[in-house]
Structure 1
Amino acid sequence: MKKQLLALGFSASMLLGLTDVVAQKGKPIYRFPIGVQAYTYRNSFPKNVIATLDTIKALGITEMEGGAPKGMTSQEFRKLCEERGIKIVGTGGGYEQLVKDPESIAKQAKELGSSFVMCAWIPHKRGEFSLENAKQAVTDFNRIGKVMKDNGLTFCYHNHGYEFQPYEDGTLFDYLVKNTNPEYVSFEMDILWAQHGGADPVALLKKYPNRWKLMHLKDLRKGVKGDLTGGTPPENDVVLGDGQVNIPEILKIARKNGVKHYFIEDESNQEYAQMPKSIAYLKGLKE
């Protein structure tokens, strides 16, 4: 083939350029460890922690976001994970507990070996997230985030869709980003909930390139129209790549912005069937 192209007038430098293009097209889009949100296996952990962790290991997953199952200490769970080559990168805390006693959440995170603490819900009347809710969250998050930073941890708020209520020339999510201190508060993008709430995940990543630290990977069934409730039936959570979220473009921008930890979160009730397919999809994505 090389001789034929040279005969047609292609120079050696042109051939080198063509080779580079072919090589780039073969590069994987997803270049990070495979992670999982422990909520994916919410039905399995209470039944058998060991078997669930063995399943996670068998899938090639090496990072997790979550906490110790009921009846087990953080240290015990961390040991079981580490024995299987799984690092608990991040953990979560309920809003009320984070407000009341952030030090206890920080202690728990360090016992798990985590670097990140996330909050996934701001209390509010369903479907009516308000400016007052956002203002209170800003005050609380800035204080919680400082406590986490003082403990060597990074605090992240995880969007849930309801924050995209219109406000001024943007949304209440914009208000949260602009009024929280970047030194203390970062964000974890849940791409399904961003899409469900009417936002464009790609545009959000571009708009706030330095605020995103973590990401939940999940896909929303095609044809589903979102809303501002922060809720959708489990059957609307489909295999990555089968839904309406532009995952390849999201991953490219997130990688460029420095996001290093990605957790598949399958909220369907078909996680054992869907997880292997979602992982295969990620590994198969090429530029």
Structure 2
Amino acid sequence: MYKFISRKRLWLKTSCCLLLQFSLALPVVAHELGLQLYSVRNQMENDLPNTFSQINKWGLNLVEGGGKLYGLSVDEYRNELIKHNLEVASVDTSYDEIRDNPIAAVYKARFFGSRFATFYWIPHDGKKGFTIEEAKAAVAVMNKAGKLLKQNGITLQYHAHGYEFLPYKNATILDYMLQNVTDAAFQMDVFWMKQGGMDPTALLKKYPGKFLSLHLKDRKKGSKNSLDGKADVEANVVLGSGDVGIASVVAEAKKQGIRYFFLEDESSRVMRQIPQSIEYLKQLEKY
């Protein structure tokens, strides 16, 4: 597993022994890098064990997913994870599940040993767009389910998809959600923030502490924004080569102490691009 620690914090850590006489403890946050398994959905469909082996070769052992078992039983799937030393830090759930049967998300997360349960979409009429009424209902669901999950050691996360940026009271619907969800957290997919016309770094700065994990994805330069949560999957490019501003996002996330970074690449070039994106992140650590 890659653990990213800034040079400044690394210097503080190594210097700590010199300051023990003053009883000064300097905290250092390790930033863990993982993979959203949806990135390799097609590869898992064909050969799941070999795909997990490839993730190992990339130097990763933290993943996010578990929403699809690819023909295996849940025990067989977990055994493959264990065999390949892959930890499911965040397990997939859904809006319907946390609304109607949130204890199922608890059991699922506990089964996989996950810290988070994350859902990725709030059902709405795509033609009419996401409404404030639907957002208010979602906030109530998130707070109620979030309390239950929290009681069981799990943090509920919502992964926004850009359709939440429709205007509301001189701001956006997502602003309303971020300001009113109190018992759950948010996961920022930086691609979708950019796709919705927002600056992901600025949004992190506006709401420190609200986002507990990130999806690191970059977007092809020249791509058009949208407010429907849809985009061309081939617009996913190697980190650092697009228009998201990955270096700025990572710097701000580390400053805030965000621990979990998940690579995601939905393109047909994923097997080539993921290693290049990992190399880009490693190069960021040198500066």
- TM-score calculated relative to the size of structure 2: 0.86
Are the equivalent residues in 2 in contact too, given 1:74–1:108 (CA < 8 A)? no
Letter of the aligned partner of 2:145 in structure 1?
Answer: I
Letter of the aligned partner of 2:72 in structure 1?
Answer: M
Equivalent position SS for 1:33: strand
Deviations along 1:211-244, one digit per CA (max 9) or x if unpaired, are 1111101011100121101111111111111110
The answer to whether structure 1 residue 131 and structure 2 residue 139 are counterparts is no
Are the equivalent residues in 1 in contact too, given 2:78–2:112 (CA < 8 A)? yes
Query: Partners in 1 of 2:258 and 2:77 — Cα distance?
Result: 26
Q: Hey, what does 1:82 align to over in structure 2?
A: 82
Are the equivalent residues in 2 in contact too, given 1:194–1:201 (CA < 8 A)? yes
Q: Hey, what does 2:270 align to over in structure 1?
A: 271
Q: Hey, what does 1:18 align to over in structure 2?
A: none
Are the equivalent residues in 1 in contact too, given 2:223–2:235 (CA < 8 A)? yes
Give the Å deviation of 1:87: 1.2
Give the Å deviation of 1:70: 3.1
- TM-score calculated relative to the size of structure 1: 0.86
Query: Partners in 2 of 1:97 and 1:73 — Cα distance?
Result: 20
Query: Partners in 2 of 1:149 and 1:71 — Cα distance?
Result: 31
Give the Å deviation of 1:82: 2.8
Q: Hey, what does 1:171 align to over in structure 2?
A: 172
* 1:7-46 equivalent positions in 2, closer than 5 A: 32-46=31-45
Specify every segment of 5 or more residues in structure 1 that has no aligned partner in the other structure, as ranges. 1-22
Give the Å deviation of 1:105: 1.5
Q: Hey, what does 2:19 align to over in structure 1?
A: none
Are the equivalent residues in 2 in contact too, given 1:34–1:60 (CA < 8 A)? no
Q: Hey, what does 2:221 align to over in structure 1?
A: 222
Are the equivalent residues in 2 in contact too, given 1:190–1:217 (CA < 8 A)? yes
Give the Å deviation of 1:83: 2.7
Query: Partners in 2 of 1:147 and 1:73 — Cα distance?
Result: 27
The percentage of aligned residue pairs carrying the same residue is 38
Q: Hey, what does 1:152 align to over in structure 2?
A: 153
Q: Hey, what does 1:98 align to over in structure 2?
A: 98
Are the equivalent residues in 1 in contact too, given 2:30–2:259 (CA < 8 A)? no
Aligned pairs, how many? 260
Deviations along 1:115-171, one digit per CA (max 9) or x if unpaired, are 101111111122611111111111111111111112110001111011111111211
Bigger Rg over Cα: 1
Deviations along 1:169-199, one digit per CA (max 9) or x if unpaired, are 2110010011111xx2111000000010011
Query: Partners in 1 of 2:114 and 2:77 — Cα distance?
Result: 12
Give the Å deviation of 1:84: 2.3
Equivalent position SS for 2:123: coil
Deviations along 1:245-282, one digit per CA (max 9) or x if unpaired, are 11111111111112101110101111111111111111
Query: Partners in 1 of 2:61 and 2:82 — Cα distance?
Result: 9
Q: Hey, what does 1:8 align to over in structure 2?
A: none
Deviations along 1:89-136, one digit per CA (max 9) or x if unpaired, are 001112112211111111011111101011111111226111111111
Q: Hey, what does 2:208 align to over in structure 1?
A: 209
Give the Å deviation of 1:63: 0.6
Change in 2 beyond 3 A, CA 1:261/1:75: farther
Equivalent position SS for 1:145: helix
For the aligned residue pairs, the C-alpha RMSD in angstroms reads 1.8
Q: Hey, what does 1:162 align to over in structure 2?
A: 163
Query: Partners in 2 of 1:104 and 1:72 — Cα distance?
Result: 19
Query: Partners in 2 of 1:279 and 1:58 — Cα distance?
Result: 12
Query: Partners in 2 of 1:169 and 1:232 — Cα distance?
Result: 26
Are the equivalent residues in 2 in contact too, given 1:33–1:62 (CA < 8 A)? no
Equivalent position SS for 1:122: coil
Equivalent position SS for 2:213: strand
Query: Partners in 1 of 2:117 and 2:73 — Cα distance?
Result: 17
Equivalent position SS for 2:43: coil
Q: Hey, what does 1:114 align to over in structure 2?
A: 114
Are the equivalent residues in 2 in contact too, given 1:78–1:113 (CA < 8 A)? no
Q: Hey, what does 1:190 align to over in structure 2?
A: 189
Give the Å deviation of 1:31: 6.0
Equivalent position SS for 1:114: coil
